[in-house]
Structure 1
Amino acid sequence: MKQLQHFFKDKTVQQVLDVGCGSGDFIKVLNDTFNGQVSITGVDPGEQWLKEARARFAQEHICFSCMSGETLAFEDASFDVVSLSNALHHLADLEQALNEMKRVVKPGGWIIINEVSDGDLTEAQENQKMLHHFKSFVDRLHGIPHRSTWTVDEILDIVRQNKLEIVDSFRHLKTKQVNFESYFLDEKSRQMESLLEELQGRPEYDQTKDQLPLFKERLEQHGFQSAPQLLVIARPKAR
């Protein structure tokens, strides 16, 4: 990500923490940004995701631990950079997690928030949003924290409301091409179908079952593309 590399090109960074790392997509971005020259720690509460991440990143300077963002088992002021990528909407206690991130970042360090955003979407990106919102709806029925997508202004407001000073922000695309590959679109349809099957026997099934044929029709017409993400670089405000 060129914008991120440009921002940190003259900054001294040695220790980086990625909160809610999942299988490691943003770990790759961070490793590329710092040219493999910094120590990176990824944490996530899901051991199944960490198993995949460990298989992807066997480098000695990258390690992983199982823990939640709301309770980071690190000393105060341990990291030069603390990031949270596409996990803001998964947090059970958003304020507590951001407080923990502020606690473990060093004075003068940076906090990166990277989050999928809503607003000004193409039809292909609306398809990604439709699948994501259905997934979040089903998760919430199961008691799993999973919010719908925020707009750019809403994300920026969340950052400011949690006493973070925005240094830079930009919108970017994870995938720049619209995908019309039949195998890929079939997989997205199966994901929606699987989510719908989870609702069998519940009143929500009849309320939402029409989304599947609509989703399939939209995929055929418009394809699929990940919605834009907003990356925010911020610093904790002085107490």
Structure 2
Amino acid sequence: MRAAARIRIPHSDDSAESGGTVSWSHRHRPSPNPGRRQMVRQERGRSAWRKGASRRYYHVRPRREKGVSMDILTERLASLTPSRVLEIATGSGGFARRLASCLGSYGDILATDSASRAVEAAARNLADLRDVRAELADANALPFPDAAFDLVAIANSLHHFEDPSRVIAEALRVLTPGGALVVFEMHRNAETEPERNHVRLHRFWARVDTAGGVYHAETFDEARFHSLLGLLEFSEGSWDPVPSEGGDPKDPGLLAEIAGTFAAYRQKIASIPSPDLRARLEAEAREAEVLVREHGFRSAPSILFVGHTTGGDGGRSCS
């Protein structure tokens, strides 16, 4: 068994080349009977919000996989061969497809979400992949026994949870000794105007969703990631900046997708009861549209964390 090692996680003022391996102990475990009220409250809000929402709900945001470099993801996951893979908060299933593509091999992948409509969308989008399925599950209280999975992934979702630490603790609970935790998240430390437009738009989306009763926080900065992951212990791990890919930030197809996003969120704004709040959000939408026309849009940079829990073989062969 490898001894757990404390690994430095870079802060936002570190060089882009900085990186390291982080370790995690299983002392961060959830209570054995976590409350269900938060899930019920959030799911009721989601259901009410979505009754009048666009059918493009799970496709309105520009897909992150199109805008960021996946080379690092492939590099980090190619050596892993887990038998049992869990994805938390899959949305429409885009990252589950990435896992199927980037892992060296896998037995089966279970893509989960607490929203039935998301699970339906993921099931459709993943139907062509072997041994990949979608299922309802509450990330705050996963319906799986301890040590049930060899790899657990959370992508672009931690900021959707009121208590991300609980979600991470649940992910650790269901991981086997030596299993791998994969966290992939955009952050708001953008460097160019097209990237800042993504951060601005995400802030706008979060405010509209929250006004509709669906918890949605702004994306984290790098310091927030440090506070979530930096004090935990793993036998080994890596922490990689994932830059936005190049390309034309004013590509007509991309801007058309952004226009569809604005249209979908304007439908949501129209259903907000408060006239003052509707007016403020409409003004924010108009301002964001001007900035997108002026500077274009490019996906914000991301962070990829891959950590192996203590025990086992470090997650290299998780069969």
1:119 and 2:189 correspond: yes
CA contact (8 A) 2:85 2:149 kept: yes
CA contact (8 A) 1:23 1:49 kept: yes
CA contact (8 A) 1:164 1:235 kept: no
Q: 1:218 — aligned with what?
A: 291
1:190 and 2:263 correspond: yes
1:77 and 2:147 correspond: yes
CA shift at 1:237, angstroms?
Answer: 6.2
Question: Following superposition of structure 1 onto structure 2, how do residues 139-178 of structure 1 map, counting pairs within 5 Å?
Answer: 139-161=209-231, 163-165=232-234, 167-173=237-243, 176-177=246-247, 178=249
Q: 1:209 — aligned with what?
A: 282
Query: Hey, what's the Cα distance between the residues in 1 that align with 2:166 and 2:309?
Result: 14
- Secondary structure (helix, strand or coil) at the match of 1:77 reads coil
Q: 1:20 — aligned with what?
A: 89
| Number of aligned positions between the proteins | 237
CA shift at 1:200, angstroms?
Answer: 5.7
Q: Which of the residues 73, 76, 86 maps onto 1:7? A: 76
Query: Hey, what's the Cα distance between the residues in 2 that align with 1:175 and 1:200?
Result: 39
1:106 and 2:179 correspond: no
- Secondary structure (helix, strand or coil) at the match of 1:209 reads helix
The amino acid that maps onto 2:300 is A
Query: Hey, what's the Cα distance between the residues in 1 that align with 2:115 and 2:159?
Result: 16
Q: Report the aligned-residue RMSD.
A: 2.3
- 5+ unaligned residues in a row in structure 1: which ranges? none
- Secondary structure (helix, strand or coil) at the match of 1:170 reads strand
1:47 and 2:123 correspond: no
Give TM-score scaled by structure 2 length. Answer: 0.67
Q: Which structure has more strand as a fraction of its residues?
A: 1
The amino acid that maps onto 1:118 is R
CA shift at 1:104, angstroms?
Answer: 0.4
Query: Hey, what's the Cα distance between the residues in 2 that align with 1:19 and 1:110?
Result: 14
- Secondary structure (helix, strand or coil) at the match of 2:110 reads strand
1:138 and 2:211 correspond: no
CA shift at 1:106, angstroms?
Answer: 0.5
Query: Hey, what's the Cα distance between the residues in 2 that align with 1:207 and 1:237?
Result: 49
The amino acid that maps onto 2:150 is D
CA contact (8 A) 2:206 2:218 kept: yes
Query: Hey, what's the Cα distance between the residues in 1 that align with 2:78 and 2:159?
Result: 29
CA shift at 1:173, angstroms?
Answer: 4.5
The amino acid that maps onto 1:180 is D
The amino acid that maps onto 2:113 is D
Q: Percent identity?
A: 22
CA offsets, 1:46-69, max 9 Å, x none? 111111111122234111110111
Q: Which of the residues 57, 66, 70 maps onto 2:136? A: 66
- 5+ unaligned residues in a row in structure 2: which ranges? 1-69, 312-319
CA contact (8 A) 1:136 1:148 kept: yes
CA shift at 1:195, angstroms?
Answer: 4.3
CA contact (8 A) 2:190 2:199 kept: no
Change (3 A) 1:160 1:118: same
The amino acid that maps onto 1:25 is G
Query: Hey, what's the Cα distance between the residues in 2 that align with 1:68 and 1:102?
Result: 15
